[in-house]
Amino acid sequence: MAKKPRFFSPQKKPARPLPAQAEATIEKFSHDMRGIARVGGKTVFVDNALPGENVRFRYTERRAKFDEGAATEILRPAGERCEPRCPHVALCGGCSLQHLAPAAQIAEKQQILVDQLARFGEIEVPEVLPPLVAEPFGYRRKARIGIRWLKKRSGKNPPGLLFGFREKRSNDLTDIGECHVLHLQVAEQIPRLKQLVTDSDGRANFSQLEVAVGEDHAAVVLRHLKPLTDADRGRWQGFAADTGIHLYLQPGDAGTAHRVWPGEGGEERLHYALPEFDLTLAFHPLDFIQVNFAINRQMVGRAVALLDPQPGERVLDLFCGLGNFTLPLALRAGAVVGVEGEGALTERAEENAARNGLDNVEFHAADLTRDIAAQPWARGGFDRILLDPPRNGALEVVRQLARFGAKRIVYVSCNPATLARDAGELAALGYQLASAGVMDMFPHTSHVESMAVFNRVS
């Protein structure tokens, strides 16, 4: 009996290893301002690369539909390229655009805003407002610096201290020795702060250092997971006394933060001014504030001018925080209602209203992602409305704004995609976009802060 022929499956050839590096021409920016190239028919997002440039880059991530990389050599630079000030820009996620001239950064952000409104909101911008700009370095007055003490080697990091910001698209820390966007009062203390952590007995139990700089004082808030030794407390208080930087310790959640220098007790506040309105606002070092005071002053002035409240009118300020817009509006309008999701901030806003002698403003804490119809403050009408929501926008409350009958709405945004989405909702409610523009609140980053004005037409 003849043997049956044996069949063998053809062996698959081993996949050819993909190159670690490649060359490409950058076609355009992505929405997060990385260079976009096509290599072998596949999209690659390349850090530190500008449109029009020829670059050599290394792959940092392989995915099914796209790859990611970082430029290692600029073969043909764009005219807008400039030399970064900071030696940590390749890794540090605090800045991603120091290689692009500041004027080109804000021009690109303006275009992103216009494109997003057209793409997601199907809205053209009738009037593009001039961008708000200021000094692009040393502007940042709030920051969170991570602290990790490594007892043994971890990945690419040797034993010792990691003190800095998160790496780009990673939870790992970039160890920094300097920072050019932090306010100088804190930035110049980075080497000393690193040494202070290294010398501390409890360094393995430190998780972060929150920094805040007012126009009167700077403060640092040390988050520690175990009680400080007497020696450590003395070290940190000595640093504070020597530098004049206020020292807070935070053993638990935000509510446990307390000032230990200068002296326990007293008003635990920093301050900033809005000179155009002759206002001074107080804040706790852990409060949310706008990190760029120079842009904030311009932003508040523009928002009040565009909303144009009249004496006798009622104004609603949603996501009001500690009263950054509410109090200036109260100087122009008959009455202002500020609403915020976080009760601690509405308490701070009430403090600020009293501090500045304003009695025509009231504040309420409410979840603005839910139905607001039953809220007492929502039962009346409003002539004008201002919104300053977080990155995820204000979709739920925007859908409820028609009940108030406001003739004008000013929307302050930190995410052009959600602004565009919400603008589409406002259009469906009978509001037409009149103008929009960007603000350079975060130079050298891909964050796009903007403002848009909507008028009721039906």
DSSP 157: B
If you search the block for the tokens 């950054």, which residue do you land on?
Answer: 324
Q: Which of 441, 132, 134, 141 is nearest to 272 (CA)?
A: 141
Q: What's the start-to-end Cα distance of the chain, in Å?
A: 92
Residue 217 amino acid letter: H
Q: Supply the Cα-derived Rg of the chain in whole angstroms.
A: 26
**Judging by beta carbons within 10 Å of its beta carbon (0-12, 13-18, 19+), is residue 275 exposed, middle or buried?**
exposed
The reply to whether omega before 262 is within 30° of 0 (cis) is yes
Beta bridge partners of 326: none
Alpha helices, DSSP H, located in 281-377: 293-307, 326-330, 343-355
C-alpha distances out from residue 109 to 212, 276, 318, Å: 27, 27, 25
| DSSP H/E element including 184 | helix 184-187
The answer for residues whose C-beta is within 8 angstroms of residue 246's C-beta and 6 or more apart is: 217, 218, 219, 220, 240, 259, 261, 262, 270, 285
Q: Which of 208, 254, 253, 201 is nearest to 228 (CA)?
A: 201
**Chain centroid, CA 103 distance in Å:** 20
Sheet containing 160-164, strands listed edge to edge, beginning at the edge strand earlier in sequence: 160-164, 142-150, 206-213, 218-224, 246-250, 258-261
Positions marked catalytic? 414
